[in-house]
Chains A and B, each alone.
Chain A
């Protein structure tokens, strides 16, 4: 617990630097990454982050030490070369996107490994620091690193905010943009530069292998909570900053733990929570909505079944007859009948089921909607009467009172549907 207090009260200024650094770079890469996620180019970030390895090594070889400026420049240049090669191959060959990205990714990484072993064998004592670029160690961020990495992160955030309109166009409708006279090629170029920069600044803290997660996951998670771009970006940035701080804290408490993996694990946890629990689009709420829909369709079908029986003059229905007709889901049927009884739509007297007046008008409403829709399809869409049932079977559950009113007036309050069956209204008798 004292670790916790020590870490989060920022008594140690170097911890403050690390936290500020990881927050800035997390927000920056989430910002760029969300755009590339919306552009459906999420894996390009993966390719770039593997591709910066040879650049880092070359920068290290040229500087002879872990000089951030050389390393950032080297990483940027090899990331840029990888991006250029990716788009060149895409336009000049018939290879699919994923084969191109996977090839570029592994070729650059392989070459990086070659350089890495060459450096290793040269016996440079600074070598130890280089490994941090592969798995990331946020704690190793020093004050002078922060000025460079943090400054670049701020540059990314400001550029994206200033040219939001242009980047929106790039992602959502580039053709429209060029039709309006925007220089889409240059905008794409600037965007690629920002993307490479965000990878470059993340590698020391997160590492080349896992940097892709910081680009892809925040946007994908945030997408579940909102449809609007502004909140989406803010949420993605927040997710990324929170998990950045959690990851840093863990590698502060357990020093042999690299930061990157923990950032990724906490980020994925946030994403998983989003996938499962987000309102409307989450797995859980879509499951519940589906169950509710299935329950209400069953209820509607039960009411319709009783109504049809009365329409055909069968008289009283026993509960067994109902079970017999819905035998494939007896359990649900029993529950649905109980629900109907509780909500006062049917009565049950010694196994004989009958409508209450409220139940009867509800059943009439469903049958009416069904038959109105059949008639509408037949008259307005010229669909043959024997082809309209299936559509009506779906629509009867979701037609609103307003639509019902519209159908009634369009069809001039009809009496019969295409199958010559009566369209029941509240005041007529069976």
Chain B
């Protein structure tokens, strides 16, 4: 197969997005907040629509700001429902994201004539358009695909965030009370993580769709967790899976002529379910050690 520049760009960008999502997803999973990530990626929709409407284009900074604000609002509403209104956590999450997502869909329909955005594109995204959506400078010089730059910027921000706050994130993820006792601002760290998730959702939604961002946030970390329980290997494995999913997903989608993002998730899902099955079968065959079982649960 000859070198296909478009295929390379798509796979490269998809890998960047998967790695950003996976890095954040590992910490979300360890904090048992995977569903909050799901909620945020639904809830940013009204912010995206309003940002579109205000800036008149999907490239505006307003879109990112709007989505970021909505992501934080969603976190705050979930928290308010849980602590002030005393609604149980799972119901708080469910109520919040369905409401915000519904408002987003309504806004899209209200502003349909002004905003070049339809609900399907928000849900599924279309990374196949990436090579033709170029960043053209004022001088008319083409710099290459716009979304690839967004993905590079996003990965830089996410990895800087995790590099700088690694110790704090690790501590508050594994033992929040201890983190608070030694004086870490657990609430602020949490909010910062949620903001990063919102930002990542926004910057990737055009490529993979708001809902499929969830898959990249959750599935690679969960798969990696089936193979290792140590943080550093967990992060490395998650990134590796993200790249593998991007490559395989692209070529499979090419083969059956379907959504690339959807196929990436499908590959991730097969890996996840396959890993769970292998981990279940291995001990029965006498290979490796059995899963550690907490004696108190027996």
B94 lies within 8 A of A216 (CB): yes
Residues of B within 8 A of A105 (CB): 38, 214
Residues of B within 8 A of A103 (CB): 34, 215, 218-219, 222, 269, 272
Give Cα A118–Cα B124 distance, bound, in whole angstroms. Answer: 13
What mask results when residues 39 to 54 of chain A are scored 1 for a CB within 8 Å of chain B, else 0? 0111101100010000
Residue of A41, A98, A258, A260 touching B35 (CB-CB under 8 A): A98
Q: Does A187 contact B (CB under 8 A)?
A: no
Residue of A50, A89, A102 touching B37 (CB-CB under 8 A): A102
Residues of A within 8 A of B217 (CB): 102
Q: Does A85 contact B (CB under 8 A)?
A: yes
A283 lies within 8 A of B85 (CB): yes
Closest to A274 in B: B85
Distance in Å: Cβ of B36 to nearest Cβ of chain A: 8
Chain B binder among A21-29, A108-116, A155-163: A108-116
Q: Does A217 contact B (CB under 8 A)?
A: yes
Q: Does B160 contact A (CB under 8 A)?
A: no
Residue of B106, B219, B291 touching A257 (CB-CB under 8 A): B106
Q: Does B134 contact A (CB under 8 A)?
A: no
Residue of B88, B253, B265 touching A40 (CB-CB under 8 A): B88
Residue of A40, A95, A107 touching B269 (CB-CB under 8 A): A107
Assuming the A-B contacts A95-B225, A213-B94, are A89 and B99 also in contact, with contact meaning beta carbons closer than 8 angstroms in the complex? no
State which residues 86-123 of A face B: CB under 8 Å: 88-89, 92-103, 105-118, 121
Task: Please indicate which of the listed interface residues A110, A118, A275 has the most CB atoms of chain B within 10 Å of its own CB.
Answer: A110
B105 lies within 8 A of A114 (CB): no
A109 lies within 8 A of B259 (CB): no
A-B contact count (CB 8 A): 206
Per the CB 8 Å criterion, the residue count for chain A at the interface is 63
Closest to B107 in A: A261
Closest to B110 in A: A257
B106 lies within 8 A of A110 (CB): no
Q: Does B112 contact A (CB under 8 A)?
A: yes
Residues of A within 8 A of B215 (CB): 103, 106-107, 109-110
A216 lies within 8 A of B95 (CB): yes
Distance in Å: Cβ of A16 to nearest Cβ of chain B: 26
Q: Does A76 contact B (CB under 8 A)?
A: no
Assuming the A-B contacts A37-B91, A109-B215, are A213 and B98 also in contact, with contact meaning beta carbons closer than 8 angstroms in the complex? yes
A106 lies within 8 A of B105 (CB): no
Closest to B88 in A: A40
Distance in Å: Cβ of B77 to nearest Cβ of chain A: 10
A-B contact list, 21 entries, CB within 8 Å: A42-B88, A46-B38, A92-B279, A94-B291, A98-B35, A102-B217, A106-B269, A107-B273, A109-B212, A109-B215, A110-B266, A112-B262, A115-B258, A134-B119, A135-B105, A212-B94, A213-B102, A217-B98, A220-B95, A262-B102, A275-B87
A binding-site residues for B, Cβ under 8 Å: 37, 40-43, 45-46, 50, 85, 88-89, 92-103, 105-118, 121, 131, 134-135, 209-210, 212-213, 215-217, 219-220, 256-258, 260-262, 264-265, 268, 271, 275, 281, 283
Which 7 pairs, one residue from A and one from B, show the smallest C-beta to C-beta distance?
A110-B265, A107-B269, A106-B215, A113-B262, A213-B98, A261-B102, A216-B94
B binding-site residues for A, Cβ under 8 Å: 29, 32-35, 37-38, 42, 81, 84-88, 90-91, 93-95, 98-99, 101-103, 105-106, 109, 112, 119-120, 123-124, 209, 211-212, 214-215, 217-219, 221-222, 225-226, 253, 256-259, 261-266, 268-269, 272-273, 276, 279-280, 291-292
